[in-house]
Homo-oligomer: A and B are copies of this chain.
Amino acid sequence: MTNMKNDLFIRACLQQDVERTPVWMMRQAGRYMAEYREVRKKHDFWTVCRTPDLATEVTMQPIDKLAPDAAILFSDILVVLPPLGLDVKFSPGPSLESPVRTVLQVNELKRFDVQQELPYVFDALRQIKQSLNGCASLIGFGGAPLTLAAYMVEGGKSKNFENLKTLFYQEEKAAHQMLDLLVDIQADFLSAQIDAGAEAVQIFDTWGGSMPREIIETFVIPKIQVLIEKVKRPGVPVIYFMKDAAHALDLLAQTGADVLSIDDKISLSTAAAGIGPGPALQGNLDSAVLFCNKDIITREVQKVLDAVPKGRGHIFNLGHGILPNTPVENAKHMLDEVKRLSAR
């Protein structure tokens, strides 16, 4: 029996030679797929996250239909909040009943046993790994400390982050304490995901890039550095994705990530110039391109491929998550075109 394992994704992350550019999509298990919407008719979002059979089912849907080179666990970065005593409701955006607004509340947050509190995540990873059977690499993930803190302090999505920033400007000690706790929790969580079969992990920093550079320097990059240091293992790539990072490109390289995921605001050549030599790059087709006709999709896929500096590791992806109303056939076209156009 030949070895059918598809490890293109891992090899590109580690900047080894690849026959073609690997490709997957952030949020590839999601509402744009009819099969996903069917599952969600019967089960709410939290139930799908917390039921390994369901999480496996929806994680596998895009694998079966679109054949990307990586599967990402279906879950949510906020699964770590309930074990911290913070209940989260989705309606559909996340909202917390009691946000963390005082130093006293920060002091009450405690590290917890991830195996005991989040067994469903690790069970799901084990099941997905088995279902994949080597046809795609399995990615685990978690939220960056600042992004988790943003939800914890603001109590949900925020436009201006005035509570979080007040903590940063005025209660620096408590802010560091909270972020350091989140570093420990995320290190435990991501390491346990690797133990359960994740072959790579991605740290999502959705709100890091919404911060002034000064806050990024003090409260983001040093925390990501420590987190990645704790999680790093030979052969298991760590991907860091800070959205809207154009004002912090030079800082991204300091994180020690194997791969930096880049959003669609700048070309990968501009990103590479700002970051400097080092990590592989992931990205960065504008998700809106998938609403255009197939010729435009092909043209824009080619542009992304052309922007990658020669010899730099590259994983093709969107600039952020695939949008809910994306036509599935356009996503399929994009994946097929990446495979065709990047073949060496």
Residues of A participating in the B interface, judged by any CB pair closer than 8 Å: 160-163, 165-166, 169-170, 211-214, 244, 246-247, 264-267, 270, 286-289, 291-293, 296, 300, 319, 323, 325
Contacts and interface: CB of A to CB of B under 8 A. Distances in A.
A211 B246 CA distance: 12
Nearest to A211: B265
A270 B163 CA distance: 26
Q: Which 4 residue pairs spanning A and B have beta carbons closest together?
A: A246-B247, A165-B288, A246-B246, A162-B288
B213 A160 contact: no
Given A247-B246, A289-B169, A291-B166, A267 B213 contact: yes
A296 B169 contact: yes
B296 A266 contact: no
A292 B247 CA distance: 25
B296 A212 contact: no
Nearest to A215: B286
A248 B7 CA distance: 37
A246 B263 CA distance: 14
A244 to B, nearest CB: 7
Given A165-B286, A169-B296, 17 more contacts: A161-B288, A162-B287, A162-B291, A162-B325, A163-B291, A165-B288, A169-B289, A169-B292, A170-B292, A170-B293, A170-B296, A212-B264, A212-B265, A212-B286, A214-B267, A247-B266, A247-B270
Contacts of A169: 286, 288-289, 292, 296, 300
- Give the number of copies in the complex: 2
A265 B209 CA distance: 9
- Among A211, A213, A296, the most chain B Cβ lie within 10 Å of the Cβ of A213
22 contacts: A160-B287, A160-B323, A162-B288, A162-B325, A163-B291, A165-B286, A165-B288, A165-B291, A166-B288, A166-B291, A169-B286, A169-B288, A169-B292, A169-B300, A170-B293, A211-B265, A212-B264, A212-B266, A212-B286, A213-B266, A213-B270, A246-B246
Nearest to A244: B244
A21 to B, nearest CB: 20
Contacts of A267: 213-214
A292 to B, nearest CB: 5
A300 B323 CA distance: 38
Q: By CB atoms of chain B within 10 A, which of A160, A247, A264, A293 has the most?
A: A247
Given A264-B212, A293-B170, A296-B169, A160 B288 contact: yes
Contact of A292 (B166, B244, B264): B166
A163 B319 CA distance: 17
A326 to B, nearest CB: 9
Nearest to A246: B247
A157 to B, nearest CB: 10
